[in-house]
């Protein structure tokens, strides 16, 4: 692909491919002051017939990417810039519902407990403790309807 011209999403001519490093194309652009930037192959479509490479990225996005020097490029930094970098550490989930304290999949309820808040189930149990046996048929300010004492289960 060396020598292929790079066309951006805005149909701008960006530069020429001068090499490949890992999963990235090296694009050189500029007339007087040449600079090189990495372009992940994930974002390109190659047209062998016209010797062009079309990218879904904007010219500005590629120009603002980390410049490549003479040494080996930092592929992790390139991937991070383009949003392709995954976290190298595994998530804190242990499986089967067991969670580590720093697990990114912690629920709001679990965060509340960790912050010292009373769980919703415990709040409901505490509220029920204050009610007497027959008071569970109505809420605050509502009349309490007693159970049917005739034993028939229906109106008398």
The answer to the question of residue 21 being in a domain is yes
pTM above 0.75, yes or no: no
DSSP string for residues in the chain: -TTPEEE-TTS-EEEEEEEEETTEEEEEE-SSS-EEEEEEGGGEEEETTTTEEEESS-HHHHHTSPBP-SS---HHHHHHHTT-PPPSSPPSEEETTEE-TT-TT--HHHHHHHTTPPPHHHHHHHHHHTS-GGGGGS-TTS---PPPSSSSSS--
The answer to the question of residue 92 being in a domain is no
26-83 confidence digits (pLDDT tens): 888 877 888 888 888 888 899 889 999 999 888 898 888 888 877 677 788 888 888 8
CATH code of the domain covering residue 61: 3.90.50.10
- Per the structure, the complete domain to which residue 52 belongs is given by 5-81
């Amino acid at each position: 692909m060396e020598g292929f011209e790079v066309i951006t999403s805005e149909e701008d001519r960006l530069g020429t491919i001068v090499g490949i490093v890992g999963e990235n194309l090296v694009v050189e652009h500029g007339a007087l002051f040449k600079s090189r930037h990495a372009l992940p192959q994930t974002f390109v479509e190659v047209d062998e017939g016209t010797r062009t490479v079309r990218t879904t990225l904007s010219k500005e996005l590629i120009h603002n990417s980390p410049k490549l020097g003479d040494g080996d490029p930092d592929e992790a930094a390139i991937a991070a810039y383009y949003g392709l970098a995954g976290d190298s550490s595994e998530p804190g989930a242990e499986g089967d519902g067991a969670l580590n304290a720093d697990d990114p999949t912690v629920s709001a309820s679990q965060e509340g407990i960790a912050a010292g808040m009373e769980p919703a189930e415990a709040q409901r149990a505490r509220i029920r403790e204050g009610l007497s046996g027959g008071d569970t048929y109505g809420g605050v300010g509502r009349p309490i309807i007693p159970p049917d004492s005739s034993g028939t289960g229906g109106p008398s």
